[in-house]
Amino acid sequence: MGKANDRHRINERNGTKRSCSRHLLFIFFFLYAISSGHLQMAEAEEMKLKLPLGLKTSALKIPADNPITKGKVVLGRFLFFDKRLSKDDRISCATCHIPVLAFTDRQPVSIGINRQQGGRSAPTALNRAFTNVQFWDGRAPTLEAQSVGPLTNPIEHGFMNNDEMVAKLNSIDGYKKQFKMVFKTGITVETVGKAIATYQRTFLSGNSPFDRFDAGNDSKAISDTAKRGLKLFRGKARCGICHAGFNFSDESFHNLGVGWGHEVVDVGRYNVTQKKKDIGGFKTPTLREIEHTAPYMHDGSLATLDDVVAFYNQGGVTNPFLSQLVMPLKLNDMEQKDLVAFLKTLSGEGWQQIKEPETFPK
């Protein structure tokens, strides 16, 4: 009996040793995988965006040469918030596109390097995954181009050229290693743009009270006042002509007369196309989170949603290039309030959890 117990204890010890050996072997191969770069496969694995209610997968604009991957999202997050991605280490993408402010800065016009003022308001970065041309004037044909455009703007991030920006990132070992793992080619203006654009495509807003009402899931998701406003939005107020589709934008350019009559007029889209018909034209912004993205218009000249509705109600500002879609609406005071109530139902979710990293590559 005693010998049997002894053999049992010996077998237990041997089993424990084999278990420990297997565990140590697993740790060894895991560490080897990290050091040899085998984990790049996980970093390169494509991610699918989880879209809130109301947004459409079929409408996503994701270039074939820049699929969304975990590695690019992580890298893009660092770059988006890193103030070293500016000439003086004081400006990041998030300086003008602040997450808690629905990715705006609540300023009429944005402030860049050396406290210089730009000429336009920072539009929200939300739901950019569904658009191609970017900026108020559409000068960037892709989100990748938009992501690097401000870096060499002398008023925004202030780099003299892209070479200077790339050289600065290359001086940071942590970034060199991350870019090498994610892109293999290392740091270029193209890979910087791809990383930041990929991260921006994760800024989503949906599942608003309007979405729940429109989907038929909750008839009480919006008030009776907002329901009257929705009817006006789609009818008498003519909003849905330009603020069309699930993202409430036709992605086109229109002259509303904003800023017309000032000493200097911003000609908007004309600077890009040089076509007379585009003088004073600016891109239709999304209305999602519109309650949280004041002030409004490309120059931030309208402080509240009430001001915006009143502006449209008067028919914009007359000028030689005013869009034919803009005309007096003849809404009474109650109708204007109803319309504002509807616009506030477009505040959703999908972005509130986004925060700055606690540490950055060194």
Enumerate the active-site residues: 156
How many angstroms separate the CA atoms of 341 and 346, rounded? 10
How many angstroms separate the CA atoms of 87 and 19, rounded? 55
Let me know: does 186 contact 179? Beta carbons within 8 Å.
yes
How many angstroms separate the CA atoms of 350 and 205, rounded? 5
Question: Dihedral of the CA atoms 183, 178, 57, 52 (nearest 10)?
Answer: 180
In this structure, is the dihedral angle defined by the CA atoms of residues 266, 95, 152 and 192, taken in order, positive or negative? Answer: negative
104 φ/ψ angles, rounded to the nearest 5 degrees: -125, -175
How many angstroms separate the CA atoms of 284 and 281, rounded? 9
- List the structure tokens of 105: 């800065």
Query: Which CB contacts under 8 angstroms, 24+ apart, belong to 116-123?
Result: 116/154, 116/155, 117/155, 118/155, 118/156, 119/266, 119/299, 120/266, 120/298, 120/299, 120/300, 121/295, 121/296, 121/297, 121/298, 121/299, 121/300, 122/96, 122/97, 123/285, 123/293
Let me know: does 68 contact 140? Beta carbons within 8 Å.
no
- List the structure tokens of 331: 């809404």
Reply yes or no: is the peptide bond before residue 295 cis, omega within 30 of 0: yes
Element (H, E) at 72: helix 70-81
b (16+ CB within 10 A) / e for 201-221: bbbbbbbbbbbbbbeeeeeeb
- List the structure tokens of 171: 């001086």
Let me know: does 322 contact 256? Beta carbons within 8 Å.
yes
